[in-house]
Chain A
């Protein structure tokens, strides 16, 4: 047994996050750790890596009792971790991040060249064509995540822990990551894999352990396990099926047009595109990370100023050059990067929920406290946000529950056009179904929703119309019978512009084609 955990217990004020949990990890296996949002997965991992101090229980590595007091201590013992939220330093270069704390030196100074070379070596086999001399922050969350993994693999020798590593990766990147993980497993590492994607769990993992409300429910081999049984273990109840919305031919056409964007664009960000939004319609943006999906949405919301184009609704032209203007026009935008753009960590759940509403009312008209409490209670209930109370700082919630609070912030605004960038990232199977149902209900009431998602199945279920974005252009619009995961994939992968060499394609495609070293591209 590589790693054994016995009756691990950890409490936070008001919550018992872990209650006598047992967990075993064998060398050479990928072991999934599953459970609802707030079940205690991240807490278990943080106790293991010394980020939290456990209240009680025992951890043994190779039969020796260990008690790491910090993550670096855990690394020295051979336990490497990639956390749910990327926690590298965005303002350092990729190379500096990769070699942080172990920089190659010459004459006592950091040797920049050797550092770059080391970083490039570390990234080999991950198929990233990136310039390691650029700031980490200039790359997408997905690439940052892969870099974090590369770093953790490098520093850890025995145990590698991945807390929702694939939440922000697209299919090609996931496949690539799985190859890496399998290789590491075959090298004899014990790998803990946390994910809400059950398909991935079945594809990758040898065994799985389910937690519920901080307690160990079951540990089983993955092959032969029934999917529904697994969901039952996780939720403690059956999952209600989400009925797919009717994509009847032309169903959306009858709905009246509400908003219209013409020729919205900005050089170097996204080529000019048109977008019509009908009342009560769900539009999907599909495409690889970095294809321009998020950038399109940022233009629509005024987060980036469009250089060309105009917006109008049925009453006339709209000027949308700042988020405030967009909100005044009845737009909402739940961003992709929850940690830096979504949550206001030190503020309470209540304050996070009412923030946008309060900003719209202006500083002088404070939302009465009773009304704030009512809204908070309402959304905690309807989105099933797992918390001991509404006054808890949002930073102390589990990742999926933070996401729900950000959603609640916009739902409380009751916008007419809501943009959701990866709305279900990190959300468990039960809540995932709930949110898709909720989107359905909202559109019935006349709200229009734009969903950006890497999960094609989710788009297919939710959207009436899907726009495929590729190479910073809107390339196709799919409706009716074309709304299947396969047609979307084909549209994403198609190469219909002959003058383009594959080298110009986004990273992930290049990676899927053939791993190139960064040098070849430059």
Chain B
């Protein structure tokens, strides 16, 4: 417990600093009110809007832990959204729509996983295929239109709330907790990390590396499907061109801000979803602080750069050295003082 807290300490600290920073410009930032049985306020808004990226980050963390990357998640959101919407428009009902959408996500992940682990294609290339081709598939499903529906049951997944908390928030939090528990209560986490650090040695020790790699891409596909469902439910329509656009990059960024190495190995899902919240806080914070919108991307880039620099392992060793030298100087001075 203490160890996991220590692991996410940099991300928590970053969130606190960001919150303080935004409050400086927008004093009401931390205020939360209860209206019509729903919690409202900027923080709640962040927890809700950050849902798609947080969900993508959960799957992406697992993929990255094996030393891979999944560029197709944004596109998979569009595909699964389109699948769900067209199922609803065809009048098949919510359960069927959900099953079909999640099935589509799993299938997409299976495809990626096979390209990577069976055919041995570089992950970045393998998932690029679906990233580019997938929007076309989504357009075929929606027949080039924005497919809208009116099903309030499905819409509830995007804009409803339970016990005052937005449903998307509940969904990403419970997904993250479930997956994290699954990883650490079973041996999956260890085996994934082993494959990510040294696939050959792991395979030699009897780890089913090929199967595990397929599984993590399928998990990523499933997370993308959930994100796609939320995004579609929120706007009550599937937009093949814009749903999940560029979100794969935010997801990768969240994983990296979460301190997970892109080279694979040790991973933390908690840190990655905190990374997603950091990104969303920046996005929302910039708007709240009232900066002209043309500054948004620049400010975001500067903040992200600052966060990554503070976390950089190279800098960390420099810090340690500087501290050590300062300490030594102090002790030397102390000794001279006693003489």
> Contact residues of A with B, CB < 8 Å?
53, 55, 303, 323-324, 327, 333, 335, 340-347, 351, 355-356, 358-367, 409
Contact = CB atoms under 8 A, between A and B. Distances in A.
5 contacts: A55-B324, A344-B197, A359-B202, A362-B187, A366-B185
A343 B321 CA distance: 29
B201 A344 contact: yes
Contacts of B186: 363-366
B206 A324 contact: yes
Contacts of A346: 193, 197, 265-266
Contact of B205 (A53, A355, A365): A355
Contacts of B324: 55
Contacts, number: 74
B193 A347 contact: yes
Interface in B263-314: 265-266
Contacts of B202: 344, 355, 359
Given A363-B187, A364-B186, A347 B205 contact: no
**Interface-central residue, B202, B321, B324, by most chain A CB under 10 Å:** B202
A53 B321 CA distance: 10
A362 B191 CA distance: 10
Nearest to A358: B187
Contacts of A355: 190, 194, 202, 205, 207
A362 B202 CA distance: 13
A351 B198 contact: no
A340 B266 contact: no
B198 A340 contact: yes
A356 B194 CA distance: 11
B118 interface: no
Interface in B38-86: none
A303 B266 CA distance: 26
B174 interface: no
Contacts of B207: 355, 359
B3 to A, nearest CB: 10
B200 A358 contact: no
A364 B185 CA distance: 9
Contacts of A333: 204
A402 to B, nearest CB: 11
Given A343-B201, A362-B187, 4 more contacts: A323-B204, A341-B201, A359-B191, A366-B185
A356 B187 contact: no
B16 interface: no
Contacts of B190: 347, 351, 355, 358, 366
- Please provide the 4 A-B residue pairs with the shortest distance between their CB atoms, ordered closest to farther: A359-B206, A356-B205, A327-B206, A366-B187
A55 B193 CA distance: 33
A324 B208 contact: yes
A392 to B, nearest CB: 14
A193 to B, nearest CB: 29
Contacts of A367: 187
Interface in B195-242: 197-198, 200-208
A344 B195 CA distance: 8
Contacts of A345: 197-198
B20 interface: no
B194 A351 contact: yes
B205 A409 contact: yes
B194 A323 contact: no
Given A347-B193, A347-B194, A341 B187 contact: no
B32 interface: no
A344 B194 contact: yes
B188 interface: yes
A356 B206 contact: yes
Contact of B198 (A303, A343, A356, A359): A343
Contacts of B200: 340-341
Contacts of A335: 201, 204
Given A344-B197, A345-B197, A303 B187 contact: no
B197 A359 contact: no
A54 to B, nearest CB: 12
A365 B205 CA distance: 17
A152 to B, nearest CB: 26
Contacts of B198: 340, 343-345
Contacts of A363: 186-188, 191
A360 B197 contact: no
